[in-house]
């Protein structure tokens, strides 16, 4: 678990005004005929960053990655890599390599030949190739599989061969398009940590494309959430989860409850919103006008369910009744129906749950939350 150590936690070049981005997409647009796949997108990625492009199928994330690799040419805009505009640099001369979801391994070649392929094409001397291949096999812990063909390997081992092959040319940036998509859940989770360790060890910049939010949250230093060819929010996983900047991100990442209402008061960084069930009082960076419609988003685990009324039942609290109970092993999900008919989702770790007298179906309960529990959405 090296990746969760101090180095990673203190790594935040995007927050340092003196640090320069390593990769910049500047006003990038990509059209296929009349269709705009990437729409005037601007984004910075930093050296040694593990960066994730996250979004639903068709949002343009692979197209963005392919433009960085040089497989697609932008219709407009610039891509700067390490201070250089790379528009006219062909893919094989960019300090970038791509690992595909399908791995694209040559079935008739051994593991070592697959890894050596690009190096041979570049005309690297034989002895150097052998040394580099040995180093790569060691890196991905496949030394004893050098002579096997891809079909004699498990899915996880094939993934590592593809990784070794894409790292063999020592790129400065590794692009990974759904790198773990072909693996089953358990292996995918293990491999996420292996990739993080490897990225730290090699000190490379990784840009990963995924539609799997858990994968992005686990591995990435920062995530760009994309929709319809645009970046909707770029932030650390914790910021994206705890302070989604709009309804799309709040909905797309994890579960969320949204309280719709009208702003009744705004003062000193606090906003009050009158909803059908809750009178919300929340600290807020977003300050809407009094009288405006507003939406407040709060994650399920931030809602407290109790039998007893909270100290101030008039603020950030509502009565309700238990509507559904889902036991998930590590946690229990309680759906609570509020007087307006809105059903809110709450969740509680089972380790923190009352075992003797748990809340059951149809019980009358209170749902409450703290002033810092959620955010007012921007739109």
Ligand X SMILES: Nc1ncnc2c1ncn2[C@@H]1O[C@H](COP(=O)(O)OP(=O)(O)OP(=O)(O)O)[C@@H](O)[C@H]1O
One residue of 7, 32, 326, 372 binding ligand X per CB under 6 A:
32
74 counts as binding ligand X under rule CB under 6 A? no
60 counts as binding ligand X under rule CB under 6 A? yes
179 counts as binding ligand X under rule CB under 6 A? no
Query: x/- site string to ligand X, residues 187 to 226, per CB under 6 A?
Result: ------------------------x---------------
One residue of 21, 55, 150, 179 binding ligand X per CB under 6 A:
55
Nearer to ligand X among residue 31 and residue 378 (C-beta): 31
CB of 362 to ligand X, least distance (A): 42
CB of 209 to ligand X, least distance (A): 6
Name the segment binding ligand X (CB under 6 A); options: 30-38, 180-188, 302-310, 369-377: 30-38
43 counts as binding ligand X under rule CB under 6 A? no
Name the segment binding ligand X (CB under 6 A); options: 11-19, 60-68, 341-349, 370-378: 60-68
Nearer to ligand X among residue 60 and residue 320 (C-beta): 60
Nearer to ligand X among residue 45 and residue 133 (C-beta): 45
One residue of 59, 116, 180, 280 binding ligand X per CB under 6 A:
59
One residue of 63, 166, 191, 257 binding ligand X per CB under 6 A:
63
d(CA 133, CA 115): 6
CB of 215 to ligand X, least distance (A): 13
Q: How many residues bind ligand X (CB under 6 A)?
A: 12
One residue of 5, 58, 291, 313 binding ligand X per CB under 6 A:
58
Nearer to ligand X among residue 228 and residue 262 (C-beta): 228
| Nearest to 116, CA basis, from 147, 90, 91 | 147
62 counts as binding ligand X under rule CB under 6 A? yes
Residues near ligand X (CB under 6 A) are 32, 35, 37, 55, 57-63, 211
């Amino acid at each position: 678990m090296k990746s969760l150590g101090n180095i990673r936690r203190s790594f935040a070049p995007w927050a340092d005004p003196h640090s320069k981005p390593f990769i910049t997409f500047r006003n990038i647009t990509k059209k296929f005929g009349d269709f705009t796949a990437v729409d005037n997108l601007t984004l910075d990625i930093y050296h040694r960053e593990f960066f994730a492009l996250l979004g639903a199928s068709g949002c343009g994330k692979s197209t963005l990655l392919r433009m960085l690799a040089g497989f697609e040419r932008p219709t407009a805009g610039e891509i700067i890599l390490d201070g250089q505009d790379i528009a006219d640099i062909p893919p094989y001369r960019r300090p970038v390599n791509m690992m595909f979801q399908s791995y694209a391994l040559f079935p008739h070649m051994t593991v070592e030949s697959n890894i050596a392929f690009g190096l041979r094409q570049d005309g690297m001397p034989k002895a150097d190739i052998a040394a580099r291949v040995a180093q790569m096999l060691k890196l991905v812990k496949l030394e004893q599989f050098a002579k096997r063909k891809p079909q004699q390997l498990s899915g996880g081992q094939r993934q590592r061969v593809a990784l070794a092959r894409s790292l063999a040319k020592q790129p400065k940036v590794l692009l990974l398009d759904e790198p773990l998509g072909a693996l089953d859940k358990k292996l995918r989770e293990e491999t996420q940590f292996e990739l993080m360790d490897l990225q730290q060890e090699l000190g490379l910049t990784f840009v990963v494309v995924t539609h799997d939010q858990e994968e992005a949250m686990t591995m990435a230093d920062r995530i760009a959430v994309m929709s319809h060819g645009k970046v909707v929010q770029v932030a650390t996983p914790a910021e994206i989860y705890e302070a989604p900047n709009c309804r799309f991100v709040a909905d797309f990442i994890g579960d969320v409850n949204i309280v719709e209402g009208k702003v009744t008061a705004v003062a000193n960084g606090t906003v009050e919103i009158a909803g059908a069930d809750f009178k919300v009082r929340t600290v807020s960076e977003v300050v809407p006008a009094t009288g405006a419609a507003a939406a407040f988003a709060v994650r399920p685990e931030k809602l407290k369910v109790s039998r007893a009324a909270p100290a101030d039942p008039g603020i950030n609290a509502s009565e309700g009744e238990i509507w559904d109970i889902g036991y998930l092993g590590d946690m229990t999900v309680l759906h609570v129906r509020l007087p307006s008919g809105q059903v809110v989702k709450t969740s509680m770790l089972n380790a923190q749950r009352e075992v003797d007298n748990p809340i059951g179906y149809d019980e009358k309960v209170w749902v409450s939350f703290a002033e810092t529990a959620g955010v007012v959405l921007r739109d």
